[in-house]
Chains A and B, each alone.
Chain A
Amino acid sequence: MNKNRVQVLSIPYILWVIGFTVIPLIFVVAKAATNAEGDFTFEYLLAIFDPVHRKALLLSVCLAFISSVICVLISYPAALILKSAKFKDTKIIMFIMILPMWMNFILRILAIQLLISKNGVINHLLSVLHLGQIDIINTPIAIVIGMVYDYLPYMLLPVLNCVLAIPDDIIEAGKDLGAGKFHVLTKILIPLSLSGIGSGITMVFVPSMTEFVIANILGGGKIQLLGNIIEQEFSVSMNWNLGSGLSLTLMIFVLITTLLFGRNSANNRNFVL
């Protein structure tokens, strides 16, 4: 009986989505499917296949993917360590993780630039210690560092949440049956925290696909991601049609991937509200 009643709870959100996501999206679709004169055209929807755009898309996917993976690789062990430390107050950890984000984004990225640039803080330290120099500014590595830095909390929080919620007795059962640390990880912890990792990946991968500020500042403007192109089309070239077209195809591309993965857990629980 009650499943339907619970579903009703999402109505405000559905209305919101229709009002402020779907309708604006229709504007975008309309722009994407017409040219400057307002005539229907496929030109901009297919513009993604232009070699320049394709290259940028590929690079974007690549960097976003690498950043997501690194975020997972950093967050997951951290979550495990925090879980094993039996730290009770998760809110404090979350606070510590998110606090840096309360400084303005652009300031933080500029600060990273200060850290890793040629005459930056790190190189200063390294030269004082006679440890050689790093030269990563204006390379994809710098962009990845920036993305990881900026999006790490969005991975950490859901992953931490999920990992901490895994009951200890299930982990004990796994160990009891002979699972070493590795197998406990791969067969129990990870499967049970997939939804958290999934959320984290969505929140890291998806926004980093359209990221452009990081690429501009840390990449020295030499690396062109799809986000830069879309931004450029909108804000400099004023070619909204092309910008919308690219944006829309990017969106479809990513949404289809998320649809393919979707929800893995069986949803047959009873829900009595």
Chain B
Amino acid sequence: MMGKALGKIYIVLVVLFMYAPIMVLIALSFNASKSRVIWGGFTLKWYRTLFESSAIISAIGTTLLLALLSAAIACIIGLTASLGIYAMKKRDYKIMLFFTNIPLLNADIVTGIALMLWFVKFMPLGFSSVLVAHVTFNIPYVILCILPKLETMDIRQFEAARDLGATSFYAFVKILIPDLMPGIFAGFFMAFTMSMDDFVITYFTKGPGVNTLSTLIYGEIRKGIKPEMYALSSLLFFIVLIMLIIVNISARDNKDKSDLAAY
């Protein structure tokens, strides 16, 4: 099974590539020196000071709320949009994809300034304006994840559900959604990530007092990123990782049980 081993090595390499910078960041979170380029010995103090900074704590709240909400809204709109687009004729389909790509394509600063100029005409800048902006640039990612999934979907199962008395909504929820779930998940993740990462658009569309981690970090660049940021990122990373492991283990337990029951 040479192939299998090579495959594993390959996956490990890819994961290594993706996680190497993360390891660096985690290392930096334990760096006693305030400079990222100097190793000043091991410390945990950034993890402590992190919780003393009300600015960071409130920014993380805003960031997560914003990311969750915008990703969720984008998923809902994107999912319905994908279904609609999927049912369209070729020409309409292309037109829709055309417009879907625009937010991806505009340089962030162009989108940010254009949205800001537009928002000031009818809504106060604040959390909601950032939310709208984030949803706007998130939707394309959701659509681009769900559409390919729709293309390979097995429509017969959906028909069978309808036949058994399911309304289209119910069949949609019970049959199509599980089928599309990986796509929705991928879209949600991407949207969530984009939202967490965005600086420029957030900056131009946010109101006073609204801060996300990104806007904090960008504000700090000149003086050097505060080590608390590394600590925060690492903490976030570990929390998600632990959650992932827990979910995974409990899911595996359940699976084991049902596997046993199957035979």
Contacts and interface: CB of A to CB of B under 8 A. Distances in A.
Contacts of A160: 186
B136 interface: yes
Nearest to B121: A23
A16 B135 contact: yes
B127 interface: no
Contacts of A96: 15, 244
A107 B89 contact: no
A75 to B, nearest CB: 8
Interface residues of B, number: 103
Contact of B237 (A25, A102, A165, A227): A102
Given A27-B114, A102-B240, A104-B229, A162 B148 contact: yes
Contacts of B118: 20, 23-24, 27
Nearest to A164: B182
B83 A10 contact: yes
Contact of A16 (B10, B86, B136, B152): B136
B197 A105 contact: yes
Contacts of A165: 149, 152, 182
A31 to B, nearest CB: 8
B84 A13 contact: yes
Contacts of A255: 98, 101-102, 105
Contact of A271 (B22, B96, B135, B155): B155
B107 A206 contact: no
B260 interface: no
Contact of A254 (B84, B96, B101, B108): B101
A9 B80 contact: yes
Interface string A205-228: 011011010000000000000010
A101 B104 CA distance: 17
Contacts of A227: 107
Interface string B161-196: 010000010001000000001110110011011001
Query: B interface, by DSSP: helix, strand, loop or mixed?
Result: helix
Contacts of B145: 157-158, 161, 199
A98 interface: yes
B46 interface: no
Given A100-B21, A114-B36, A158-B148, A262 B233 contact: no
Contacts of A250: 105
Contacts of A4: 87
| Interface magnitude class on chain A | 35 or more
Given A104-B196, A203-B141, A240-B113, A210 B107 contact: yes
A213 to B, nearest CB: 9
Interface in B77-119: 77-78, 80-81, 83-90, 92-94, 96-111, 113-115, 117-118
Q: Which 8 A-B pairs have the closest CB atoms?
A: A10-B84, A13-B81, A24-B114, A111-B21, A6-B87, A195-B148, A81-B7, A157-B186
Interface of A: 2-4, 6-14, 16-17, 20-25, 27-28, 74, 77-78, 81-82, 84-85, 88-92, 94-108, 110-112, 114-115, 121, 149, 152-154, 157-158, 160-162, 164-166, 192-193, 195-196, 198-199, 202-203, 206-207, 209-210, 212, 227, 230-231, 234-235, 240, 243-244, 247, 250-251, 254-255, 258-259, 262-263, 265, 267, 269-273
23 contacts: A6-B86, A6-B87, A12-B77, A12-B81, A14-B81, A20-B118, A21-B136, A78-B14, A81-B10, A91-B182, A91-B185, A102-B193, A102-B196, A102-B237, A103-B22, A110-B36, A152-B18, A161-B145, A195-B152, A202-B104, A259-B98, A269-B155, A272-B155
Interface of B: 4, 7-8, 10-11, 14-15, 17-22, 24-25, 28, 36-37, 77-78, 80-81, 83-90, 92-94, 96-111, 113-115, 117-118, 132-133, 135-136, 139, 141, 143-145, 147-149, 151-152, 155, 158-159, 162, 168, 172, 181-183, 185-186, 189-190, 192-193, 196-197, 199, 213-214, 217-218, 221, 225, 229-230, 233, 236-237, 240-241, 244, 248, 251, 255
